[in-house]
Structure 1
Amino acid sequence: MAKFATFGTITFEVSPKKIYTIDEFTRSGGARWGSHEIIGKKPMPEFLGPGQDEITFLIRLSIMHGVDPRKELDKLRTLKDNGTTAPFIIGSAPISNSYWYIESLAERHKTYDSKGQLITAEAELTLKEYPRVAPKTGSQSKPKPQPKSNSNNVSKRSNIGIVTIKVNMLNIRSGPSLNARIVKVARKGQSYKVYGTKKTDITWYDVGAGLYLSAGSKYVSFKKV
Structure 2
Amino acid sequence: MMLYSIGSLTLDTRPFNVDDVSRSAGADFAVKPLIGTLPGREFMGEGDDKLTLSGQLLPFKIPGGGGMTELEIAHGFRQSGQRLPVMRGDGRMLGWFAIESISEAHTALMSNGVGFRVKHTIALVKVGPEGASPGIIGSILSLFAQVGL
TM-score grouping bracket, smaller chain normalisation: 0.7 to 0.9
Q: Residue 53 of structure 1 aligns to a residue in which SS?
A: strand
Partner residue in 1 for 2:57 = 61
CA distance in 1, matches of 2:130, 2:71: 30
Gaps of 5+ in 1: 137-182, 192-225
Partner residue in 2 for 1:7 = 6
TM-score by length of 2: 0.73
CA distance in 1, matches of 2:114, 2:131: 45
Paired residues of 1:8 and 1:79 also in contact (CA < 8 A): no
Q: Deviations over 1:69-108 (max 9, x none)?
A: 5423321211111001111112252442x20111111111
Matched, 1:85 2:88: no
Give, in angstroms, the shift of residue 39 of structure 1.
Answer: 4.9
Give, in angstroms, the shift of residue 109 of structure 1.
Answer: 1.4
Paired residues of 1:100 and 1:129 also in contact (CA < 8 A): yes
Q: Residue 101 of structure 2 aligns to a residue in which SS?
A: strand
Letter in 1 for 2:73: K
Bigger relative contact order, structure 1 or 2, given CA contacts below 8 A and separation 6+?
Answer: 2
Letter in 2 for 1:110: T
Q: 2:98 aligns with which of 72, 91, 101?
A: 101
Gaps of 5+ in 2: none
Change in Cα spacing, 1:56 to 1:4, as seen in structure 2 (3 Å) is: closer
Partner residue in 2 for 1:44 = 40
Q: Deviations over 1:39-76 (max 9, x none)?
A: 56543211111212111121211121335254233212
How much is the aligned-residue C-alpha RMSD, in angstroms?
3.1
Q: Percent identity?
A: 22
CA distance in 2, matches of 1:77, 1:92: 25
Partner residue in 2 for 1:35 = 31
Q: Residue 114 of structure 1 aligns to a residue in which SS?
A: coil
Rg larger for: 1
CA distance in 1, matches of 2:28, 2:44: 5
Structure 1's consecutive aligned runs of 4 or more residues displaced over 6 angstroms after TM superposition are 133-136
Letter in 1 for 2:24: S
Paired residues of 1:9 and 1:75 also in contact (CA < 8 A): no
How many residue pairs align between the two structures? 139
